[in-house]
Amino acid sequence: MEKLIRYLAVSVCLVTAPIAIAAPQAMEQYTVLAALTLNFARFTQWPEQTFAESGDSLNVCLVGDNVVQQSFESINGKNVGVRTIKIIYADRLRNLTQCHVLFISELAKNLLLQVFIDIKSHPVLTMGEDQEFLDSGGLVSMINKDGKIQLYVNLAAAKAARLNISSNLLRLAKIVGDN
């Protein structure tokens, strides 16, 4: 009986879904950005030697306030292939070359430019959340456009940083920068 109800429920939904007004539940921005960051960690290949020091962990560094920190706590310890994610708070903007992923929520422009100078030619996947981040030299930006996140990837710069982002991910993103 219970099973039947379930099947019926699903089928009713399937049948009537096209006429329904879609009103999906809104999710908090940084929860979604954390989940997207996890996906980027999974679908990006770093040069093998970058793990020589970090061992089993894939370092996700964060620059942001308590809201960002709390949201990204959810991906701490998640598995990425053979490695696990380790969240590092990088508010002091030091030792950034230890980061595999560097998410920057908000930073004064002069410091942002300096961060890119510091990690230049290191394989750090820099991720941000606005257009200015890309313009300043960031690799990936997850921009909220009218309530939905759009991905922007500076592919040429990512390649120059020896990062290989899976085409499955790239086909969902807008490619910016040279080429």
Instruction: By CB under 8 A, name the binding residues for another protein.
Output: 2, 5-6, 8-10, 12-14, 16-17, 19-32, 34-36, 38-39, 65-67, 69-70, 73-75, 78, 89, 92-94, 96, 109-111, 113-115, 117-118, 132, 144, 147-151, 168-169, 172
Kindly state the smallest distance separating residue 28's Cβ from another protein, in Å: 6
**Based on CB atoms, which residue is closest to another protein, 47 or 84?**
84
Q: Which helix (H) or strand (E) holds 57?
A: strand 57-63
Kindly state the smallest distance separating residue 8's Cβ from another protein, in Å: 6
Q: Which helix (H) or strand (E) holds 30?
A: helix 29-42
Overall residue count recorded for the chain in this entry: 179
Closest C-alpha among 44, 68, 21, 25 to residue 151: 44
**Based on CB atoms, which residue is closest to another protein, 47 or 95?**
95
Q: Which residues sit opposite 152 in a β-bridge?
A: 141, 174
